[in-house]
Structure 1
Amino acid sequence: MKRMRMIKKLALVLCLCIPLLASAQEAKKPVSGWQNLDLKTDSLFGIGTEKAYNELLKGKKHTTVLVAVIDGGVDTAHEDLKSVLWINPKEKAGDKIDNDKNGYADDVHGWNFIGSAKGNVHYDNLEITRLVRDYKKKFAALDTNKLTGADVAAFAQYKKLSEEVNADVAKARQSFTGVNNFKVALDGILTGVGKKDPTADELVKYQPKNTREASVQRTLLGALPEYKTVSAFVEAEVMPAWDHYNEQLEYNYNIDFDPRGIVGDNYTDSKERLYGNTDITGPDADHGSHVAGIIGANRTNGIGIQGVADDVRIMGVRTVPAGDERDKDVANAIRYAAANGARVINMSFGKSYSYDKKAVDEAVKFAMTKDVLIIHASGNDNNNTEKENNFPSRIYEDKSGQAAAWIEVGASGPKNDLTLKASFSNYGKTTVDVFAPGVDINSSTPGSKYALHSGTSMAAPVVAGLAALIRSYYPKLTALQVKDIILRSVEKVNHKVTLVEGKDKREVNFDELCATGGIVNAYNALKLAATYK
């Protein structure tokens, strides 16, 4: 999996290769900032952040907490983020000297592990693609009919992964064809009407040239009430879908594409630390900026949104490309954050395969010695992670135990009903700790803009913001104590929710989806923190 954003894309009617508007049948969007509201007073299953500020925190002293956002980049110029960015007090910007002797010159706001003086990595493969490429090189020079020992199992794995990649490529190609056909028909309609943004009346008067144009015409007419203009619909739905599937084919599943030369490191050396550049924004900071805003967007400037925590500094550690993150970079990002003072690390990314889990585990162990609380998104595949892998994971590969100061987060919706579990969210009775708001979350995006995103990527920073809030007002609490407070103070869900497993749909108790059986709650957590022993 890539960064954990749920990409809005068109649902394909594959027999016709004609997309339909996925969001046309969705319920009305919840109010902006609903994740900070309270179920009892606002009828939305937020975490009670505003209630906590109003009733528990007024006049209380607090200290600044450093939160590391390990992600795809953070927009350092965003109007709602620039005032909460970490400024390395020991580093002098622009002098190209490592003033604080940490190995990273000019790391004023953080570090970028997927770039160099040559530029930045934007796109990369999925991990499964990289594994197939490595296996292909390994077995190219061997007689596969005479394999022995470990090579037999490795070759079997190679064949399994190759089949999986080929199947995914076929799906991506089919989906891309469907979206592209829709786009071609749409362009034909706009050309025929003679306008980029025709009105509903003008669309109705247009005579479709074929059944595909007729279907697209109906979709456009259905979309206009929500999107107001055709161009807004195209920007929100059509082009993201087109870009998504094109990206999969060109980069994610393309074994001939390898951008690592841009970084210039010795990729096979997992102990190599000193590489990268200072550009924590990178070529696509949409996801990381959204995550950062949820955690700590300025609450007092009267613009934009309000983050969960009111006294944080955001350290940007750019690690995740448009594709799967690499274990070496994740390990170094965790080490960098922990070594430079982060008290909370947010990791809104994950993947199904791991190339070098040992390197990541060693970095996580280092973070545990630094009293860091790690928050990780559980993933957006509606998988049971007791059965399906989602890396990085807290369980150490060498069987030495697991990271104690780690919280695994699923995503919930705004309504306290059967739909409370976000349909996309991974779950696991023992592998996921808590759920948090992750549907239609409004937050910061590049260019001082704001957008709704959904995903466990959005749920994790809600919890990271809560952890920072607790550590800010109760700075003597350890990472393990903060975790204990968050887990013990959840708002329990005492009704069943819908769980879809393949073609089957059933209603389950919430404690079948996560260890605590509830949604994180800031009000409850801060009340508990005040008396915690």
Structure 2
Amino acid sequence: MPHPRLLLPALCLLGLTTYAQAPLPQWHHLDPADKAMGISTDRAYELLRTLPNKPKARPIIVAVIDGGIDTAHVDLRHVLWHNPKEIPANGRDDDHNGYVDDVFGWNFTGGADGRNVFENQKEDTRLYARLKPLYEHKTAATVPPAKQAEFRLYEQAKKSYTTNRAKAEAAYQQDSQELAGDLGRVAALKKAYGVAVLDSGLLHHPPTLADTALTKLTAQYYRWVRGKFPNLDTLANQYIRYNAGLKRRLDYDYNLAYNPQPLVGDHPNDLTERHYGNNNLRTDPRDHGTEHGTHCTGIIAADRTNNLGVRGVAEQVRILGVRAIPNGDERDKDVANAIRYAVDNGASIISMSFAKYFSPEKNIVDEAMRYANAKGVLLVHGAGNDHLNYDSIPAFPSTRFLNGQTIPNLITVGASARTNDERLVATFSNYGPKTVDVFAPGVDIISTYPNNQYHSGSGTSMAAPVVAGIAAVLKVNFPHLTHADLKRIILASAAPVHTQVRKPGTKQLVDFATLSRTGGIVNLYEAVRLASLTPVPAVTVSAKDRSGK
């Protein structure tokens, strides 16, 4: 059993590959016939090459709303959107859209002075901090009828914050003790073997020690580093990073006193405000947000022609980056503005790998999603990584508007793994037969990482861009497809899989097909085949050219 500190729920960094001279192995591109539950990318492109009378391919724009992108990455720099109406670095708003020098996209989590928000509170913390002065020590009986709804929200936020803060404190204290023990054991092994670095070769074939306990410990650590880490120090650094993440939750996520918004300089209560932030998408390459956004971007569209690193799902795509997601929870205002910015700049598809469990201004996110729907834009969203039933929890962005109507242009995605056995569904993935539309590869997905590097990551954060990439391939090669067509075809491509799998968060075996609306895993080959059967309208009238040209 791997150490629990390696089973991270979001972006699981399971190893590092530096600059690569040839494409790295990516299982999610494989076909089920290869004994890997991939999306059949190569078969799909072969089919596209042989289709008779296929419409002429047309480049499109795909937006990634995330935590930033390394715009200088060798595998991404040639696939990034460039604002054709903006002159770089002249300090002027050349296209008069309200955003100065938005050459690659925009950052709604930064200030006009160039500083950026890397950390933010969880939404329950923000709510509790804001409402506590109004309702502390009050009861429902003492609150006016007009304020009852807000009082109930205060109580929910307080309960959630108090519970999560206590869990975070306990987790950090326990892990700190375990970390100290691990580092002590690593030091003991180094001393016993007389080496400065315990590489995997030594751990596999160690010199004989008189201390049998240390010998057993060596074998245990080898099982944990085998195939994932070059040496034990790399594993220990993973433990240290995990512990720092637990400390970060106390310092920022669940800290009532922390408030980074003055740095941005917007008016938080003005939900109509749209023009704030800066043009810095890359921010700090050491920041988790930039790591996450860079990873998601590579899954969609890493250069398929340069024979380097990794290959994205889609080609002839330009990635428009919108930074709106800090560590912690995103603000509804930023998400709504990010969607509108992407739509207004020609995105046909928007990939969104973020989620939270409170959404006090959901109405403005709903309005932005309706705006995207009216403009023919498809939204693809990761279901989340808390192994919960999405049908029965308040999670946001949700699959329904506040009025209960299903959001028609949204696809919600769970994460699946490589093998067609009881481990097919990712252990961390949220699921839901009514609210999760499909599953897609989201475990051990190798993709781009800042500074020309490549990491393997796991999460529904990885599954959503796989689906966004599939949607992009369809839209590029069959431009007549509407966003409704894209959703219909993608869902239809996911044939039900009836493998008995472990229900996320439990040991219970269930039919994989019961965990989502389609019961299946997306497949690019099947999606292309279905798209090729969708007739081209005799006359196509477009309200707006979304090609980016």
| TM bin (shorter chain) | 0.7 to 0.9
Is the contact made by 1:8 and 1:240 (CA closer than 8 Å) also made in structure 2? no
Counterparts of 1:296-311 in structure 2, within 5 Å, are 296-311=301-316
SS across alignment from 1:251: helix
SS across alignment from 2:448: strand
Structure 2 unmatched ranges of 5 or more: 16-23, 536-549
AA of the residue aligned to 1:527: R
CA–CA distance in structure 1, aligned partners of residues 46 and 247 of structure 2: 47
Counterparts of 1:232-247 in structure 2, within 5 Å, are 232-235=234-237, 237-247=238-248
The structure-2 alpha-carbon separation of the partners of 1:528 and 1:202, relative to structure 1 and needing over 3 Å to count, comes to closer
Percent identical pairs in the alignment equals: 41
Cα distance, 1:444 vs. partner?
Answer: 0.4
The structure-2 alpha-carbon separation of the partners of 1:273 and 1:203, relative to structure 1 and needing over 3 Å to count, comes to farther
* Corresponding position of 1:366: 371
* Corresponding position of 2:177: 181
* Corresponding position of 2:328: 323
* Corresponding position of 2:489: 485
The structure-2 alpha-carbon separation of the partners of 1:101 and 1:8, relative to structure 1 and needing over 3 Å to count, comes to farther
Cα distance, 1:348 vs. partner?
Answer: 0.5
For the pair 1:36 / 2:38, whether they are aligned, the reply is: no
* Corresponding position of 2:544: none
CA–CA distance in structure 1, aligned partners of residues 208 and 352 of structure 2: 47
For the pair 1:276 / 2:272, whether they are aligned, the reply is: no
| Alignment: residue pair count | 504
For the pair 1:523 / 2:525, whether they are aligned, the reply is: yes
The structure-2 alpha-carbon separation of the partners of 1:510 and 1:207, relative to structure 1 and needing over 3 Å to count, comes to closer
Counterparts of 1:206-355 in structure 2, within 5 Å, are 220-226=221-227, 227-235=229-237, 237-283=238-284, 284=287, 285-355=290-360
For the pair 1:147 / 2:149, whether they are aligned, the reply is: no
Of the three residues 404, 409, 415, the one matched with 2:408 is 404
For the pair 1:163 / 2:156, whether they are aligned, the reply is: no
Cα distance, 1:8 vs. partner?
Answer: 7.6
CA–CA distance in structure 2, aligned partners of residues 111 and 330 of structure 1: 12
CA–CA distance in structure 1, aligned partners of residues 334 and 25 of structure 2: 34
Of the three residues 7, 23, 37, the one matched with 1:45 is 37
The structure-2 alpha-carbon separation of the partners of 1:11 and 1:516, relative to structure 1 and needing over 3 Å to count, comes to closer
AA of the residue aligned to 1:269: D
SS across alignment from 1:436: strand
* Corresponding position of 1:394: 399
Is the contact made by 1:190 and 1:196 (CA closer than 8 Å) also made in structure 2? no
The structure-2 alpha-carbon separation of the partners of 1:215 and 1:352, relative to structure 1 and needing over 3 Å to count, comes to farther
The structure-2 alpha-carbon separation of the partners of 1:185 and 1:216, relative to structure 1 and needing over 3 Å to count, comes to farther
* Corresponding position of 1:464: 468
AA of the residue aligned to 1:49: T
* Corresponding position of 1:508: 510
The structure-2 alpha-carbon separation of the partners of 1:325 and 1:467, relative to structure 1 and needing over 3 Å to count, comes to same
AA of the residue aligned to 1:270: L
Is the contact made by 1:196 and 1:230 (CA closer than 8 Å) also made in structure 2? no
* Corresponding position of 1:17: none
SS across alignment from 1:397: coil
The structure-2 alpha-carbon separation of the partners of 1:339 and 1:290, relative to structure 1 and needing over 3 Å to count, comes to same
CA–CA distance in structure 2, aligned partners of residues 142 and 174 of structure 1: 29
SS across alignment from 1:161: helix
CA–CA distance in structure 1, aligned partners of residues 148 and 59 of structure 2: 54
Cα distance, 1:144 vs. partner?
Answer: 7.8
Cα distance, 1:185 vs. partner?
Answer: 3.0
CA–CA distance in structure 2, aligned partners of residues 8 and 326 of structure 1: 30
Cα distance, 1:214 vs. partner?
Answer: 11
Cα distance, 1:10 vs. partner?
Answer: 4.9
* Corresponding position of 1:451: 455
CA–CA distance in structure 1, aligned partners of residues 369 and 474 of structure 2: 22
Q: Please list the CA deviations of residues 106-160 of structure 1 after superposition, one character each: whole Å capped at 9, or x if unmatched.
A: 1100000000134000000111111111111222597887333244554454344
* Corresponding position of 2:21: none
SS across alignment from 1:491: coil
Between stretches 194-203 and 283-292, larger displacement belongs to 194-203
Q: Please list the CA deviations of residues 176-204 of structure 1 after superposition, one character each: whole Å capped at 9, or x if unmatched.
A: 22322233234445555465524548898
Structure 1 unmatched ranges of 5 or more: 1-6, 13-21, 25-30
CA–CA distance in structure 2, aligned partners of residues 203 and 166 of structure 1: 51
Is the contact made by 1:34 and 1:44 (CA closer than 8 Å) also made in structure 2? yes
The structure-2 alpha-carbon separation of the partners of 1:52 and 1:222, relative to structure 1 and needing over 3 Å to count, comes to closer
Q: Give the root-mean-square deviation of aligned CA atoms.
A: 2.8
AA of the residue aligned to 1:164: S
CA–CA distance in structure 2, aligned partners of residues 406 and 460 of structure 1: 11
* Corresponding position of 1:19: none
Is the contact made by 1:124 and 1:252 (CA closer than 8 Å) also made in structure 2? yes
CA–CA distance in structure 2, aligned partners of residues 241 and 140 of structure 1: 35
SS across alignment from 1:271: coil
* Corresponding position of 1:27: none
Cα distance, 1:397 vs. partner?
Answer: 1.1
* Corresponding position of 1:441: 445
Cα distance, 1:167 vs. partner?
Answer: 2.2
AA of the residue aligned to 2:126: R
AA of the residue aligned to 2:130: D
The structure-2 alpha-carbon separation of the partners of 1:387 and 1:214, relative to structure 1 and needing over 3 Å to count, comes to farther
CA–CA distance in structure 1, aligned partners of residues 32 and 101 of structure 2: 45
AA of the residue aligned to 1:520: V
Between stretches 221-230 and 277-286, larger displacement belongs to 221-230
Of the three residues 48, 54, 68, the one matched with 1:56 is 48
Is the contact made by 1:69 and 1:288 (CA closer than 8 Å) also made in structure 2? yes
For the pair 1:86 / 2:78, whether they are aligned, the reply is: no
Is the contact made by 2:14 and 2:457 (CA closer than 8 Å) also made in structure 1? no
* Corresponding position of 1:137: 133
SS across alignment from 2:392: coil
SS across alignment from 2:292: helix
Is the contact made by 1:411 and 1:436 (CA closer than 8 Å) also made in structure 2? yes
AA of the residue aligned to 2:48: L
